[in-house]
Amino acid sequence: MITIIMAEDHQMLIDGVQSFFEYDEEISFIGTVNDGEELVKLVALKQPKIVITDIRMPRMDGIQATRIIKKNYPHIHILAMTMFDQPEAIKQMLDAGATGYILKNSGIKMLSKAIITVANGDTFFDPNVAFNFMNSYIEDNVTIGNTSKIILSNREKEILNLIANGSTSKKIAELLFIAKTTVDTHRKNMIRKLNLASGSDLIKYAIDKKYNF
């Protein structure tokens, strides 16, 4: 499970992000705050796997908060989500310890990919900021947001292969010793991640990509 604390001074944005991930079985928001000082306090209390933070916030900005968090809890991954695309802002966040940088207008699906990438210990850059930053800072092992690679969990890959073999949700549940509702949830998550229109499209995709992950 990827546990997340989000710091953002616009509550509407927090509510929208949480709503999107509400039924995601791999991602769980365990706390939200509206300023940097509260972020540092909550991280100390709950120690999530990932912190998503804006840069400009009341009382303490995201750069200073990131620096404090990484000093005290170096194992926690920091993903910046902001409107600032200037190279200097990016550099300050990276120097503070962030391993991901995404713009707020990039969309929720890119945020989902950024979360998974950063949680795996890799670095993620929004393609809209990577271009200006490429020559000086981005290395070969960094994921750029417009890559065509689709990231599925091991369980999702397992279920997708069973779908490719013609198994129904009920049969998959029996084979994997999980509830049918859990299988249905995984199906919905894969449809979302793969940007498909329906369950039928998921079956077609599974057959086309059988065992090729």
Instruction: Find the CATH number of the domain harbouring 185.
Output: 1.10.10.10
Domain count, the chain: 2
133 and 56 both lie in a single domain: yes
The arithmetic mean of pLDDT across residues 99-118, rounded, is 88
**Mean pLDDT score, 4-12:** 94
**Quick check: is 199 in a domain?**
yes
Residue with the larger pLDDT of the pair 189 and 70? 70
Residue 105 has pLDDT above 90, yes or no: no
Cα–Cα nearest to 59, from 33, 87, 88: 33
* Residue type for position 104: K
pLDDT at 198: 86
- Within this chain, do residues 27 and 60 fall inside the same structural domain, yes or no? yes
**Residue 141 confidence class, pLDDT cut points 50, 70, 90:** very low
pLDDT given for residue 147 in this prediction: 45
Residue 110 lies in a domain: yes
Joined tokens for residue 151? 């990231």
pLDDT score at 118: 92
What is the pLDDT averaged over residues 73-79?
Answer: 96
Mean pLDDT of the chain: 85
Distance between CA atoms of residues 76 and 93, nearest Å:
14
Cβ(192)–Cβ(153) below 8 Å: no
> Which residues form the domain of 171?
154-208
Nearest to 184 by CA among 170, 174, 166: 170
Query: Quick one: what percent of the chain has pLDDT higher than 90?
Result: 44
Among residues 89, 118, 144, the one where a domain terminates is: 144
- Asked if the structure places residue 96 within a domain, the reply is yes
Residues 25 and 114 in one domain: yes
